[in-house]
């Protein structure tokens, strides 16, 4: 993706609290576009490149026209704070992207809104309490150790064996979700579940990028393939829920969600709601972490000094080559820093959107009701006003977890009331998996050209990342 040098940005703080009268929405710069489609062709060609280049050329607030809809892209942390926290009730998920996700994945925590979302969040929140999540640490290491043994077997059979990195990370995180969410080894379903989820995610992305889509109720060949993929996922998820309703309780997230009750009403989740939350956790719980780990291993392969520091830390903390535990995490500081810096450069969710409910003011500009408001961790994480040498991989940036920087200069898990409920789960999983594998192996990039990002809902890669295995 082309990344031009950053120009001087409009980095003034959100002036909705200033005494100046707001400027009209039309005063925000807008890139040229098609007479009829507006900026749709640029978004369809490369959404991230369009946003990145627009911020570099026009500043922190850029206006777009998407057919007959107005959109505002914001990149400044003060504006992000306003939209995601200070006035978050005025910016909701009624966008084409979320409608597509809701249609295909259900009405879970990621896609729901209003009172229904608040109720679901209240019910689910206790299940994601740190003390409960910590109980899954050993399971996460067990799954990673299983993959390590398989990698050793491959090395024994073939010196310099080459792995498909995205595929390997997906398999690991899918099994972790299977055991921790459902007490089920999803590797038996792995090929089908993964292929179907990937297909559904690609369909969501396609529906976001094109100006119109045929409703799923219309039996076109494409819609029939989508509906079959969803039905296949439902069969796995609903079968496990039905079995659990009539069987023994287990120590997993599904049991926690089934037993959880709304503190205000005493109500639990219906099977349909459970299905939607399980589908949501599938997406948020395996795809995003797999993406973070994939880019982390790739960045380590490109930066041998950072990898060397990681191995030194693992050798010191995990004396004798023992497996990592939950108690080791505070001492695995460089491990955390490497992951956080990888997520700065390659955030698992690179962009998202909201819709304004009522007229508002962002950054001193009028924003009409029913305007798409687009935000991008990918772009803000590379903002030269908040990150020195923003394109450089430098884990030292995260040495101090309380470093002084604007709240939304870094937000891979979003923020405010809609912050990812599984943040603690994901960070613990990423650290434990990275520590388990990196203490035993080096991964050497075997591609001919640099890996290139590919945006679906998450920040995947256009071509599989080949990694040559080396034992340490």
Q: 270: which residues sit within 8 A by CB, 6+ positions away?
A: none
Residue found by looking up tokens 């999803």 in the block: 186
Helices (H), 261-368: 271-282, 288-302, 304-317, 333-345
Instruction: Write the CA distances from 431 to 125, 260, 391, integer angstroms.
Output: 22, 28, 23
Cα-Cα-Cα-Cα torsion 442, 322, 170, 146, nearest 10 degrees, comes to 110
- Whole-angstrom distance, CA of residue 73 vs CA of residue 59: 10
CB 296 within 8 A of CB 430: yes
> Where is 366: in which H helix or E strand?
strand 365-367
Instruction: Write the CA distances from 342 to 294, 397, 464, integer angstroms.
Output: 9, 11, 18
Tally Cβ neighbours within 10 Å of residue 387.
Answer: 19
* Beta-bridge mates of residue 459: 455
- Whole-angstrom distance, CA of residue 256 vs CA of residue 259: 5
- Whole-angstrom distance, CA of residue 439 vs CA of residue 432: 11
Burial class (CB in 10 A: 0-12, 13-18, 19+), 26: exposed
Closest Cα partner for 59 from 106, 12, 103? 12
- Whole-angstrom distance, CA of residue 169 vs CA of residue 287: 9
* Beta-bridge mates of residue 455: 459
- Whole-angstrom distance, CA of residue 21 vs CA of residue 18: 8
The dihedral region occupied by 467, where left means phi > 0, alpha psi between -120 and 50, and beta the remainder, is beta
> b vs e for 132-167, b when ≥16 Cβ sit within 10 Å of the residue's Cβ?
ebeebbebbbebbbbbbeebeeeeeeeeeeebebbe
- Whole-angstrom distance, CA of residue 300 vs CA of residue 303: 5
> b vs e for 318-336, b when ≥16 Cβ sit within 10 Å of the residue's Cβ?
beeeebbebebbeebebbb
- 420 known member of a binding site: yes
Q: 151: which residues sit within 8 A by CB, 6+ positions away?
A: 161, 163, 437, 440, 441, 469
Structure tokens at 343: 């997520």
Measured in whole angstroms, the distance separating CA 124 from the mean position of its chain's CA atoms is 19
Residues in binding site: 420
Residues in binding site for heme: 420
């Amino acid at each position: 993706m082309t990344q031009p040098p950053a120009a001087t940005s409009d980095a003034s703080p959100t002036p909705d609290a200033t005494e100046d009268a707001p400027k009209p929405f039309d005063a925000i710069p807008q890139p040229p576009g098609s007479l009829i489609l507006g900026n749709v062709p640029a978004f369809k060609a490369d959404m991230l490149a369009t946003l990145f280049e627009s911020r570099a050329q026009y500043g922190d607030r850029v206006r777009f026209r998407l057919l007959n809809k107005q959109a505002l892209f914001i990149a400044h942390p003060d504006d992000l704070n306003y939209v995601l926290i200070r006035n978050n009730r005025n910016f909701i998920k009624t966008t084409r992207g979320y409608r597509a996700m809701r249609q295909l994945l259900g009405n879970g925590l990621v896609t729901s809104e209003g009172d229904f979302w608040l109720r679901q969040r209240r019910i689910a929140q206790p299940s994601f309490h740190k003390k409960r999540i910590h109980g899954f640490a050993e399971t996460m290491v067990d799954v990673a150790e299983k993959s390590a043994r398989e990698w050793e077997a491959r090395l024994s059979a073939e010196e310099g064996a080459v792995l498909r990195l995205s595929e390997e990370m997906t398999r690991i995180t899918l099994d972790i979700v299977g055991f921790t969410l459902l007490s089920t080894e999803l590797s038996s379903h792995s090929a089908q579940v993964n292929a179907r989820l990937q297909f559904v995610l690609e369909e969501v992305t396609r529906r976001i990028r094109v100006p119109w889509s045929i409703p799923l109720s219309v039996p076109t060949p494409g819609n029939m393939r989508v509906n079959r993929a969803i039905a296949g996922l439902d069969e796995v998820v609903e079968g496990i829920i039905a079995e659990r309703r009539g069987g023994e309780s287990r120590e997993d997230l599904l049991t926690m969600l089934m037993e959880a009750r709304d503190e205000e009403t005493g109500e639990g989740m219906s099977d349909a709601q459970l299905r939607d939350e399980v589908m949501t956790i599938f997406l948020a719980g395996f795809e995003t972490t797999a993406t973070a780990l994939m880019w982390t291993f790739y960045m380590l392969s490109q930066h041998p000094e950072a990898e060397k520091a990681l191995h030194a830390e693992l050798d010191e903390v995990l004396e004798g080559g023992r497996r990592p535990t939950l108690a080791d995490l505070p001492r695995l500081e460089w491990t955390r820093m490497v992951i956080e810096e990888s997520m700065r450069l390659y955030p698992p969710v690179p962009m998202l959107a909201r819709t304004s409910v009522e007229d508002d003011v962002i950054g001193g500009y009028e924003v009409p009701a029913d305007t798409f408001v687009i935000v991008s961790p990918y772009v803000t994480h590379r903002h030269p006003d908040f990150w020195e040498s923003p394109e450089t991989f430098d884990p030292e940036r995260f040495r101090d977890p309380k470093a002084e920087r604007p709240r939304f200069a870094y937000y891979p898990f979003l923020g405010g009331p809609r912050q990812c409920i599984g943040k603690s789960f994901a960070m613990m999983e990423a650290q434990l998996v990275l520590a388990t594998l990196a203490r035993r192996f080096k991964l050497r990039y075997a591609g001919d050209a640099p890996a290139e990002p590919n945006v679906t809902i998450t920040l995947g890669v256009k071509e599989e990342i080949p990694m040559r295995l080396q034992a340490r």
